[in-house]
């Protein structure tokens, strides 16, 4: 049965905000080599939309990581199931993620990537749920702050579905 989904952030609002973020990034990194790193699968739609709206050339790479342990809460440990294709040493990195919730996954990923000695690393997220934070994790670029609700669309799934929705929605049933 299909889930019932209510629109939380309409498509045009998301697209307008991504354009603003892309403008800020293009200005900041003008003349630099910027390397976008997306965390699979959730970041794909946001990363590609952001890259297409930027006015500077960027490199793109992806990694996949899952937190492991039992239960529905993040366990505090992360397993890298697909690593980056090449070294990031000396590069300007923009880590791109769909959402920061408890912050645990991104905390562990940023710690791991810092050890690879990039020239700089910033974090861009489309959505932020600050009320759920368990570890200190502040994104440098945030699309929207949202309340503690379970959302889908723009890469976020419900049972692996609805990632493709062009708006951010709340699953109500
Ligand atoms: P964190 O380690 O910050 O708790 O977990 C981040 C991950 O939890 C996200 O990358 C995402 O996969 C998942 N997540 C957190 N909140 C939501 C939500 O509202 N909807 C969906 N679909 N996934 C979420």
Q: Among 172, 153, 168, which Cα is nearest to 13's?
A: 168
Residue identified by tokens 């006015």 is 55
Give the mean pLDDT of 44-67: 95
- Please give the helix or strand (H or E) that residue 107 lies within, else none: helix 104-114
Residue identified by tokens 């990923």 is 109
User: Strand 5-9 to strand 168-171: parallel, antiparallel, or no bridges (unpaired)?
Assistant: antiparallel
The reported pLDDT for the residue numbered 157 is 96
Respond yes or no: is residue 101 known to be catalytic: yes
Nearest protein CA to atom 16 of ligand 1, as residue: 101
d(CA 56, CA 32) in angstroms, rounded, equals 9
How many angstroms is it from 32 CA to the middle of ligand 1?
31
The reported pLDDT for the residue numbered 45 is 98
Query: Is a pLDDT exceeding 50 seen at residue 94?
Result: yes
Whether this model's pTM surpasses 0.75: yes
Give the mean pLDDT of 64-68: 78
Query: Is a pLDDT exceeding 60 seen at residue 69?
Result: no
How many angstroms is it from 155 CA to the middle of ligand 1?
10
Q: Indicate which residue of 101, 128, 138, 148 is catalytic.
A: 101
């Amino acid at each position: 049965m299909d889930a019932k989904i209510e629109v939380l952030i309409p498509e045009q609002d998301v697209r307008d905000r991504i354009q603003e973020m892309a403008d800020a990034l293009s200005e900041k990194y003008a003349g630099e080599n910027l390397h976008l790193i997306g965390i699979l699968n959730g970041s794909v739609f946001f990363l590609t939309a952001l890259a297409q709206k930027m006015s500077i050339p960027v490199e793109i790479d992806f990694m996949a990581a899952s937190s492991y342990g039992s239960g529905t809460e993040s366990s505090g440990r992360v397993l890298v199931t697909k690593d980056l294709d090449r070294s990031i040493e000396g590069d300007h990195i923009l880590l791109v993620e769909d959402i920061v919730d408890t912050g645990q996954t991104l905390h562990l990923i940023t710690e791991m990537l810092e050890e690879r000695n990039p020239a700089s690393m910033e974090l861009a997220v489309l959505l932020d749920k600050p009320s759920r934070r368990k570890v200190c994790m502040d994104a440098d670029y945030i699309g929207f702050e949202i309340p503690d609700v379970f959302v889908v669309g723009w890469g976020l799934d419900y049972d692996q579905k609805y990632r493709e929705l062009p708006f951010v929605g709340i699953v109500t049933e």
